[in-house]
Amino acid sequence: MKILVCISHVPDTTSKINFTENDTKFDTNGVQFVINPNDEFGLTRAMWFKEKQGATVDVVTVGDKSTEPTIRKALAIGADSAIRVDAEPLDGFQVAKELAKVAQDGSYDLIIAGRESIDYNGGMVPGMLAKLIGANFINTCVSLEVEDDKATAVREIDGGKETLTANLPLVIGGQKGLVEESDLKIPNMRGIMMARKKPLKVVEPVAETPLTKAEKFEKPAPKGEVKLVDADNIDELIDLLHNEAKAI
């Protein structure tokens, strides 16, 4: 089984976020980038298929050279090879088109992507990718098993979970639950050294024109000051909640 894992290069959630050029561009200075958490759950599940079923695992990202440390981490975790599409990711459709070309060229049986990235939270790419390559698609996936050419997946739905079966080729949008957090792999020194020797192929983009454009970014309003109310002063607490916080 050939597996392609789509990796997004995203800011660590602990990074301080700023914008430049009149709040029209994200400021990357001083920001630590990581594998998108939803993608990391998918990569870990792919490694299980490699260890248990002998699958081959490639990873792919759309981005410039600055994304390569993130890709190398995926290789250190255990992926066999990596592909970087040399293009700036500007919108979901553009990224899906670039990934579709890689997927079609590689004839993959299973494509694992995160249901969304934690930076823009678009949630569009996996579904559009599946449509572009004519593959089956299961989103919000929290469990995945593959036997021969058939997959059994569990996905989250409103109020519960749903179990589905689908034939390969298949695209899934994975998330927390696809593996346990305790199963996530931390690259060891041997993996890091081996990653340096694994192939990282850079391919030219198909140059798809983005359909959307970010006009401006805006930070959330800063949190207000905390007001402390004496535990015995219930009347004041109710008054503040009703008249100031408008919570009741």
Q: What is the CATH number of the domain that holds 214?
A: 3.40.50.620
Instruction: Identify whether the C-beta of residue 172 lies closer than 8 Å to the C-beta of residue 206.
Output: no
Residue 21 resides in a domain: yes
Per-residue model confidence (pLDDT) at position 98? 96
Q: Is the pLDDT of residue 202 over 90?
A: yes
Q: From CA 110, how far away is CA 6, in angstroms rounded?
A: 11
Residue 230 resides in a domain: no
Q: Rg for the chain (alpha carbons), in Å?
A: 21
Mean pLDDT of all residues in 112-117: 94
Residue 229 resides in a domain: no
pLDDT per residue as tens digits for the range 232-247: 888 988 988 888 888 8
Q: What is the dihedral of CA 42, 45, 51, 52, to 10 degrees?
A: -140
Per-residue model confidence (pLDDT) at position 220? 84
Mean pLDDT of all residues in 110-127: 93
Total number of domains constituting the chain: 1
Confidence of residue 207 (pLDDT cuts 50, 70, 90): confident
Chain-centre distance of CA 145, in angstroms?
Answer: 20
CA atoms within 13 A on the CB side of 73: 19
Mean pLDDT of all residues in 147-174: 95
Residue 246 resides in a domain: no
Per-residue model confidence (pLDDT) at position 3? 97
> Is 41 buried (19+), middle (13-18) or exposed (0-12) by CB count in 10 A?
buried
- Alpha helix locations (H) across the chain? 37-53, 68-77, 92-106, 125-133, 189-195, 234-239
Residue 33 resides in a domain: yes
Residue 126 resides in a domain: yes
Q: From CA 94, how far away is CA 122, in angstroms rounded?
A: 13
Q: With the C-alpha atoms ordered 120, 126, 131, 133, is the resulting torsion angle positive or negative?
A: positive
Quote the domain boundaries for residue 141: 2-219
Q: From CA 229, how far away is CA 236, in angstroms rounded?
A: 7
Q: Is the pLDDT of residue 47 over 90?
A: yes
Q: Is the pLDDT of residue 187 over 90?
A: no
Residue 228 resides in a domain: no
Per-residue model confidence (pLDDT) at position 110? 97
Q: Is the pLDDT of residue 221 over 90?
A: no
The mean-pLDDT minimum among 34-38, 103-107, 180-184 falls in 180-184
Which pair of structure tokens corresponds to residue 22? 């009149």
Q: Looking at per-residue confidence, does 15 or 81 come out higher?
A: 81
Residue 195 resides in a domain: yes
Query: How many other β-carbons are positioned within 10 Å of the β-carbon of residue 9?
Result: 23
pLDDT per residue as tens digits for the range 59-114: 999 999 999 999 999 999 999 999 999 999 999 999 999 999 999 999 999 999 99
Average pLDDT, the chain: 92
Q: With a threshold of 0.85, does the pTM exceed it?
A: yes
